[in-house]
Amino acid sequence: MTTALVVIDMQVSLIEDETPDPDRIMSIVFDLVARAREAGVPVVWVTDENVTPDPTLHPAFRIKPGEAHVIKRQGNAFADTALAGELGGRGVDRLVICGMQSDHCIAQTVRAAPAYGFMVTLVEDAHTTHDFDGRGFRSVIETVNRELAVLEDVIVVASERIAFD
């Protein structure tokens, strides 16, 4: 099984303006990226062109030569993008997904991936969102993890259990 790490929407405005725990999520995602690169696992970056006012990838992250960068226009990173082709062209059949926003882009992309033939590992502690509708962000993350864990071809595990080999 060939794995890729898919990092979704780690963008300046989302992290700096909407994330209640930026240091935690940045640290975990940074560690996943470093571990994937060390193991020779492809890293694919996804950003949302609709993020404002600053849609750029957070400067803590650098796309290295050979890593794909897919720009999306909606929550599902597969919809109207080259993501499936980028992954398929690398022979990938398993995705490890992390990033933002748990209840929107993460959930939609995880739900869509199996229809494109991908097994999914959602890193339960490497995605985040913000408080809304009277629910704290931790509650939203827990709900998303629980709902996605029951889907066929999707597993949800903690970052320390991710093995890139």
105 is catalytic: yes
50 sits in the region (left: phi over 0; alpha: psi -120 to 50; else beta) called alpha
Catalytic residue, chosen from 84, 105, 141, 148, is 105
Q: Residue 146 corresponds to which amino acid?
A: R
Q: Residue 74 corresponds to which amino acid?
A: Q
Residues annotated catalytic, as ranges? 105
